Amino acid sequence: MAQYGNQWWASSGGSGFTEFTTSEFQAITSNTTYSTFTYDDSTYGDYLTLASPGGNTFRSANTTKQNGFAKHSYIQWQISGYGNCHFGIFQDGNAYNDATYLYDDVTNPSTYNYNQMITGNEWTFANNYFASGHNATSGQVKLYPGHAGTFGDTVTVTGATAKYYGDSNPTNFRTGIDDDGNWYFEVYHSGGSSAPDHDGTGFTKVGPYYMVESTAQLVTDSTTSGLVNYGSNAFQFGWGNYDGGGVETMRRIKVRTNAE
């Protein structure tokens, strides 16, 4: 296993995971005025900053991996905890633009107002945030789920304590598509000074959470009827934030994939 530091991972069959080079990482990510990727930083490795100049402003981006990602792929990240932090999945090959799952309320810019609709097919997410806010080192971890314009009830992650990306023991998040094609979301906490490896060694894991497609409710039983399931369809990862204030920074973002 290579050291965790915002690497993206390619599939390599039975021999396991291999690390993407920086150039390969650049090739599958958007680097725009909406979100900025920093490559090979001496402290954090490659990382993503979601930009907001303040006010009721939204910025977003998404991966652009040719032919999308396959089952048994996931993205993993940490957050600062302030505002709405969306890391989601949508089906590859569908229309997508940078202002579809949140938007500015130009008629009333001082109002906290956002819309989590997406034109990309099967857009699915669990908005993760800290009840204690920016750079939290205590308090609850919250998940607010949504699927294709339907939103479920907010879930408090049992046992997890909010720790922002700069903490000595940060809270980590993971979302992806499992071997059965199900969307899932996991929280890793109370385990170490960096981030969990593929197996989550040393961390306490909460989840996986799955999502009932018709209601967008989170459940922990993978046999529940009507779960969000991508089958064999390829997908991309999308992200963005509304924070109403300063920049919301995500550190150490990575993707792992495995061969079918």
CA 237, CA 41: separation in Å to the nearest integer?
22
The single-letter code of the amino acid at 258 is N
Q: What is the mean pLDDT of each run of 10 residues along the chain (260 residues)?
A: 35 43 71 69 72 55 79 83 77 56 39 48 87 90 89 95 90 91 95 80 95 97 97 85 57 57
Furthest CA-CA distance within the chain: 55
Cα→Cα distances 172→102, 140, 239, Å: 23, 14, 16
Q: Where are the domains of the chain?
A: 9-256
Residue 99: phi and psi, rounded to 5, are: -140, 40
- What are phi and psi for residue 3, nearest 5 degrees? -65, 135
The two structure tokens encoding residue 101:
């799952």
Decide: 196 and 180 in contact? Cβ < 8 Å. Answer: no
pLDDT at 218: 98
Give the model's pLDDT for residue 249. 62
- Range 9-256: architecture per CATH: Sandwich (2.60)
Query: Is 13 buried (19+), middle (13-18) or exposed (0-12) by CB count in 10 A?
Result: exposed
| CB neighbour class for 78 (10 Å; exposed up to 12, middle 13-18, buried from 19) | buried
What does the DSSP assignment read for 95-122? ---TTSSS---TTSTTS-------SSTT
185 forms bridges with which residues in the sheet?
Answer: 175, 209
Sign of CA dihedral 50, 171, 141, 124: positive
The pLDDT of residue 58 is 55
Rounded to two decimals, the pTM is 0.82
pLDDT score for 102:
40
Question: Using CA atoms, how far apart are residues 80 and 245, in angstroms rounded to an integer?
Answer: 13
**What's the burial of 52, exposed, middle or buried (CB within 10 Å: 0-12/13-18/19+)?**
buried
